[in-house]
Amino acid sequence: MLVSRPFFLFFLLFANLFYSTISLAANDALWRIGDKPKWIVEADLSKLNQVDLGIESVDYLVSDTQVSLLSKQPHYYRYIRFQVNDSAGVEDNSDLTITFNPDFQRVELHHINIIRGDKSFNRLVADDIRAVDIEPEQHSKLYSGQKQLQLWLKDVRAGDIVDYSFSVIGENPVFDGHFSHTFGLGWGVPVGITHASIVAHKSRKLSNQLADIDAEVRVNTEGNKVRYSVLIENSPAYYEDGQAPNWDSAYPTWQITSFEDWSQVSSWAESLFKTSAKHSAAFDDWLSELKAKPTKLAIEEAIRFSQQDIRYLGGEIGENSHRPHSPSEVLANRYGDCKDKSLLLVSALNELGVDAYPVLVSSYKHNTLAEHLPGYNAFNHAIVYLNYKGQDYWVDPTNAYQSNLLETIVPAAFGQALVISPDNQGLSSIPDFVAEDNLVEVTQEFIASDFRSPVQLTVVNTFTGAEADRMRYEIAGQSAKRMTKSYLSYYQRFYPSISLKQDLQISDDKISNRIEIKEHYLVNEFWHEVEGDAEFVLVSDAVEHYLKVPQKIQRKQPYSLGRPINIQQQAKLYLPYDIDFSWANEEQTLEDEHFKLFTRFDYRNKVITYQQQYQNKQMAVAANDVKQYAKLMRKARKALEINYSVTRVTEDQAYDSMNELVSFLLEKQTNNQQEAL
């Protein structure tokens, strides 16, 4: 992963209230107690008289973030003031933590006070502060060498005000003097005073941009210095609508950068991805093996190797937070993160004479990247662009379950991207894959010998494109027996008396990037006798999964529809003899600019065919369109309901004895299968 390292000040429940992206110098002590910097502007606490107190367990009174670029090393100052109002507030907010990276960061603690009425108690005691090792992204196999200062505040009581400040000083040298920072200006709780500022020399070119807030950026000249600041009083709580696309944030921000355009960011990144002309002997041997193959096969093998033979693990220590390790080192270790794998693949492809470059992308911003100011903190992932015989390919070397044939490879569709090349002119757009290239087909065949006996059910699931890649991941993560049991449990939701006839049959055609999974069941009690009629139900589970009505209709954020997909489901019921269902034959299409649903009920030659097809056309529904979308979606869900009956077919008493025998045999078979599982 390629990320800018944030430091977090948080107190348990309020873990993400205030954050800043910072870095610092390395050889001094990890932390020390020191005075506040002279360049800051003190917060005006008199404005707190207008803040309503005691409404929540915690009242957040002041969030003050100030940055100085006057020295070689940036200086980040933080001042926090909050009041705990009850035992829950005390429990959840009496432990202070500051996360930092000792490779290039040091911390200065200025004051920590507990204010109780008209008394103030000092809690900044050196012996009470401890530094511990943490790896907040260890779950993602990313290691950065971060530490955390911890202070367990003593004697905190309901009604107390916690008031403290600290600084983090320095810069990761990997940024090479560039600056890019995003201030948070709103959170899921109200804040009395929110202040953010940055001071720099007038000669320093900086651009800034507010997002999702109606506020003013004040610019004050102070001699040869200039100060940019934003002050917000009584900031409200901001709430996420839920089910929103990850590129849309509910929280306001203020971005400042020294980059003039995206090509400057590309030039900075290009210096990080440069490699030495000399590779290791092992790397040269690998290249020799690739060069012995036809070019197309060599490209595909290089992709496969980077995805499958280099395991994902990020040693993002120091400058390697953004600078990839050398291809020779990655090959020797057989592990690397996204940028390591990308540089390995690019280096191999370039040696094969193929045009290929690293690409920086954001898994969050997608096609909204251009709405943000250019900066190194705009990205969190790296992939590869290559061109072969005039065809563009966008490859994610971390996708270990992808079909790597060039004809069927699914593009790493991250939206807007920054190609790291010498002639870069700005952001590029990765083509989104369309629904037709991301196909799921489910075919169910129910074979009935009569209208009481168990029905044979065969299900064929076919996955292509990105869905095939996803299924490879699911299949790799579990045994065939566990997967068989999981599929059986799934169908028991619709047919409780279903039993397994044989294990799943799985075939993977990587040439066409197509996976097929076959299921075989026996459905007892498929028919439900009601006054001599045999009722039956055909489910539309595959399509229905995507027909979800938004939980919140009145909203400010878009509603996410996910990536483009095409779902086709067909259920066939083979009847024992001809019964005229032609009266129920019907086709229906529901469609708007967001999705299309087609359903068809058809009867001919003793076979009922129920077909559904869903396709989403966009990745999100605009907030103003959600109400109309929800109305059509409810109609679509109703269109899937099918419940018919065959009349007067179960009145023959001879059925009773036969049904008892079938039930006995079925129960015995089910018990044997459960013992096997």
Higher pLDDT among residues 318 and 184, named by residue = 184
State how far the Cα of 39 lies from the Cα of 78, in Å rounded to an integer: 13
State how far the Cα of 539 lies from the Cα of 516, in Å rounded to an integer: 20
What are the distances in angstroms from CA 614 to CA 461, 490, 596, 598?
16, 21, 6, 7
365-383: pLDDT as tens digits: 999 999 999 999 999 999 9
Residue 173: how many other CB atoms lie within 10 Å:
15
State how far the Cα of 66 lies from the Cα of 164, in Å rounded to an integer: 14
271-303: pLDDT as tens digits: 999 987 789 999 999 999 999 999 999 999 999
Residue 235: how many other CB atoms lie within 10 Å:
20
Window from 44-53, 194-203, 335-344, 392-401 with minimum mean pLDDT: 44-53
CA 87 to chain CA centroid, nearest Å: 35
Residue pair 614/607 in contact (Cβ under 8 Å)? The answer is no
Percent of the chain with pLDDT over 70: 90
User: Amino acid identity of 138?
Assistant: Q
With cut-offs at 50, 70 and 90, classify the pLDDT of residue 610. Answer: very high
What are the distances in angstroms from CA 322 to CA 4, 195, 376, 408?
8, 30, 9, 31
Q: Is 547 helix (H, G, I), strand (E, B) or coil?
A: coil
Provide the b/e sequence for 299-325 (b: ≥16 CB within 10 Å).
Answer: bbbbbbbbbeebebebbbebebbbbbb
Residues near 250 by Cβ (< 8 Å), separated by ≥ 6? Answer: 212, 238, 239, 240, 241, 244, 556, 557
Residue 670 pLDDT: 53
631-651: pLDDT as tens digits: 999 999 988 877 666 765 555
Q: Is 518 helix (H, G, I), strand (E, B) or coil?
A: strand
What is the pTM for the complete model shown?
A: 0.87
With cut-offs at 50, 70 and 90, classify the pLDDT of residue 25. Answer: very low
Higher pLDDT among residues 302 and 317, named by residue = 302
Residue pair 597/548 in contact (Cβ under 8 Å)? The answer is no
Looking at every residue in the chain, the average pLDDT score rounds to: 88
Q: What stretch of H or E contains 439?
A: strand 439-447
* Per-residue pLDDT at 673 exceeds 60: no
Pairing, β 31-33 against β 106-116: parallel
> With DSSP H G I counted as helix, E B as strand and the rest as coil, what are the percentages for the chain, rounded to 5?
25, 35, 40
State how far the Cα of 366 lies from the Cα of 374, in Å rounded to an integer: 14
Residue 672 tokens read as 């044997």
Q: Provide the strand spans (E) within 86-189.
A: 95-100, 106-116, 119-122, 129-133, 142-143, 147-152, 161-169, 180-184
Residue 67 pLDDT: 98
- CA dihedral (496, 502, 508, 512) in degrees, to 10, reads -70
Q: CA angle 622-624-626, nearest 5°?
A: 70
Residue 549 pLDDT: 95
Q: Which domains does the chain have, with CATH numbers?
A: 6-258 (2.60.40.3140), 266-432 (3.10.620.30), 436-663 (2.60.120.1130)
State how far the Cα of 669 lies from the Cα of 676, in Å rounded to an integer: 11
State how far the Cα of 438 lies from the Cα of 617, in Å rounded to an integer: 12
Residue 22 pLDDT: 35
* Per-residue pLDDT at 24 exceeds 50: no
* Per-residue pLDDT at 270 exceeds 80: yes
529-576: pLDDT as tens digits: 887 788 888 888 999 999 999 999 999 999 999 989 999 999 999 999
Q: What stretch of H or E contains 418?
A: strand 416-419
Residue 328 tokens read as 């020779």
What are the distances in angstroms from CA 283 to CA 276, 277, 280, 337, 354?
13, 12, 5, 18, 17
Residue 525: how many other CB atoms lie within 10 Å:
15
